Structure 1
Amino acid sequence: MASSYASPSAGLPGQMDLHSGRATFTEAYAFIPRGVMRDIVTSYLPHWRDTRLWIIARPMSGFAETFSQYIVEVAPGGGSERPEPNPEAEGVLFVLAGEMTLGVDGKTHLLKAGGYAFLPPGSNWSLANKSTGPLRFHWVRKRYDAVEGVAMPDAFVTSDQDQPIRWMPDTNERWGTTRFVEPDDLRHDMHVNIVTLEPGAVIPFEETHVMEHGLYVLEGKAVYRLNRDWVEVEPGDFMWLRAFCPQACYAGPERFRYLLYKDVNRHAKLPF
């Protein structure tokens, strides 16, 4: 299992670089390649010290409306004691590089590359980088959809390395998912998993479904179907899919893995 994951290259391209990027925004998907995640597009947040972030997804009416996704970079000594301003927001943290000291409800956890934390709404949490190098991690946020009679999920901390890949049936262990939450646990209204395709493996049909997606390529290369287009993707690229956008995949010559968000386990919202 890999413990090295892609993260933004930062900096700026040279003045003589060709303007031939792959960034695309369509009615069904957005493709944000790693080369556009540069210093000039970073943001800063209240109550965070020595921290910047790339906001790679946010709720947009008529597009993807359920979640936001950040890549956060915390310098040594940085962090926050007041990280989440919305008491209705749940979150997932996934460490790309560095070391995270995470406090949750009075307990302290040290997360390294591959570390994963789920934070339910109202969690009392804090985050710090006590190491000598930069910390980079994904932060996925969603307004929790509470249901009467269904308990709130608990906070937990685990890692990519500690969870098995659940291989799809009849794929000879070529295509599988690292699931951090059981699919039938109705307390959870979102999943943030890791999908793995071994070299040459495929998603053999055009998935078309109600779930919105954020797909961040952690490692490997592939050709990914997005609506009508086949797009070549590499580590550090991000794909943002609205509901019902068709998708499929052919993995490249090395193991291909991506971090996947999707909204699950709730009724469709009705406008009346």
Structure 2
Amino acid sequence: MNGGETLETEEMLAAIETADTIADLTALLQRFVQAHGFSGFSFMDAGSVLQSVPFFVGTSGAAWEEEYRSNRFFQFDPCVDQARRTNRPFLWSDITLPAKAGGRKSGALRTMEAARDHHFTNGVTIPYHFTDHLGRVFSSSSVFFWKSRREELVALFARPRIRHDLHLVMLYWSQRMMDVTARERAQPQRFLDEDGNPLVEVNLTDRERDVLAWAANGKTVPETAIILSVSEETVGTHMRNAMRKLGSETKTHAVVKAIYLNLINL
């Protein structure tokens, strides 16, 4: 594959698996987001607003990153605040910003106005909440930056397959980035099961693997029920059981864990 070709989702997950440095992972994700029309991305620790300089990796540009840090926008960013409170990806344009109070602009409003000054017309934020090998809960916020017309991203994000692929790739990439970063810091990360113990072996039934595999391919519960010739209730039961065994609160997170642990393939 040459540098001018784009990566399909399955190829992207395989490439993430073999990427072994922060630089490799950064270049790989930049290539993926550009293929979808984004100008760059950022990934940072969103766990605590008290952090002055959170862990950060990105390609949004030195000028924007410097302004973001120097103005302490991390403490006001409405996208980071929203990312702490949801598991679902969302658009910047979905956020309602506070109005001016007493003639003064809020920190959230100043943050988004500064983003527009850097020609970011819209963006996608993908939250990720995870637990490390010691049972500590962390949150990250990933952003894909958009510089074309705002409405174009709204239309793109309305396509279920696009939302699915962006979400799946970003969660998988985030886990790999955490593993690589933890290894460099001599703090190995591990997935935990429903009881908070490290996941060494997960015993999924064939049907649980089936519903996860079809979900990984973007199929809905009704579509999976038709494919497997079972009821929607049965599909839901298998998915809930798989999520419980994998210690996941969302279907997408369960899919990511299953792929990462080589329990299913796309």
TM-score of the pair, normalised by structure 2:
0.26
Could you say which structure has the higher strand fraction?
1
Return the structure number with greater helix share.
2
Instruction: Using structure 1 for the length normalisation, give the TM-score.
Output: 0.25
Structure exhibiting the larger radius of gyration computed from Cα positions: 2
